Structure 1
Amino acid sequence: MIQVENLHHRFLEIEYLRIGEGHTAIIGPNGSGKTTFLKLCAGIELPERGTVTISGKEPRAVNTGWVGEVPDNNLVFRTVADEVASALRFGRVRADEIKPAACAVLSEMGISHLSSRATHTLSGGEKVLVACAAALALPPEILILDETDTHLDRKAAENLETMIQRRPAPCVLQCTQDMDTASRADRVIYFEHGHPRYIGTPEETFSHLYNTEMYPSLWRIAGCI
């Protein structure tokens, strides 16, 4: 569970926010504070005032899987195999278990064929999938995806959704510009001007957004809500 209290950070202002376990989609216009909020939850930034806790702990004390919106910024190691294995090494997995575990997550992600590739030769979408595989190799307590699906075609995005379901983290925060993806989350938070304006199930949140571009296109076609 994520709990935010009396948060004032840059232009974000959140008096109180509680996010339970499950898959939460974060949506809103550009500049509304979505990425800043995710960085606070990941411990990448520290709040200027107020607190952010995850299951009662500071974010930096939590095993977090983070995949940012810029593909090149997510990868550190020279090869795909080393990138995925690194998460297992840092998680103190036994040496004889690292290679099988890395191969398993690459297979589940559908990118085993990339294993020996140099990370700098990958496409943007491939880099995102490798970063997601590394983030999920050692099951995180919280998985944070910041517009990663922007770089993926529909099939790759569907593979990622399936992977998240197969290797579930207790809490998944996914910032997305795809409202159809957001509509499949357990809850949706709509940010506006540094505030979480609407919070609830997809039906509850999107009921406020029917006449905007933030409404799921598939719902509009089907006449939902």
Structure 2
Amino acid sequence: MIDADFIKQCADPRLSVEIVQQFVQEIGAPDHLQVTVKSGNRTFAVPKPATAEEALDLTKKYVGQAVVRVGLTQYPAGIGIKNADELSLKLFDSCENLRMGTAMFSKIYRIATKFYGNPRPEAFEDAMLSYASGYYEGENVFYAEDPGDVAVWKQAPGTQEGTGENEAADPVGDVMAAGAGEGGQLPADVPAEDPNRATMRINLSGIKDHNVEVGPASK
């Protein structure tokens, strides 16, 4: 589990330590150099980078032609950039990646909570789904306006939602090579995608129906 002191140093201060720990655990990135490349429903096998420089080169290679998620929080690498040259090694600095990822998630969490009208665990689940897909209620949530000062549900210290002993994890790092060409190359028939529509695989074992659409659960 990610260290509480590290969270206090690097994560968005509007999120509790427990929420950040749950956020990072459900994303499931195996290390801070993780690069996940997807196109549509395909997750492509790409070389595992050994250094931040290799991870950055890999990210630059695929941003603009596929969805690329990076680092500890599997932050969407295409957000807020016009071309790949704007990407930097900060994406693979653990503290900086946690800062960016939790800041984005914090905004999404407030959007979901505002939709419900009050703090509740369901808003956390919706926020996780929206961070995974990039959309909430049909809107690109990464570019959505921050609702501002919205109180969110906070887990009690020492607890984690939906992490029972018998619940199977489904980490982002468990990539599938289906449809990938040799060496992780994208097939020629795969169209370029909006790099900001950042679908990814996350462990949402606390949600009874994993096939629900992004959006609020039934009230």
Whichever of the two has the greater Rg, that structure is 1
Whose strand fraction is larger, Structure 1's or Structure 2's? 1
TM superposition score normalised by structure 1:
0.24
Whose helix fraction is larger, Structure 1's or Structure 2's? 1
TM superposition score normalised by structure 2:
0.25
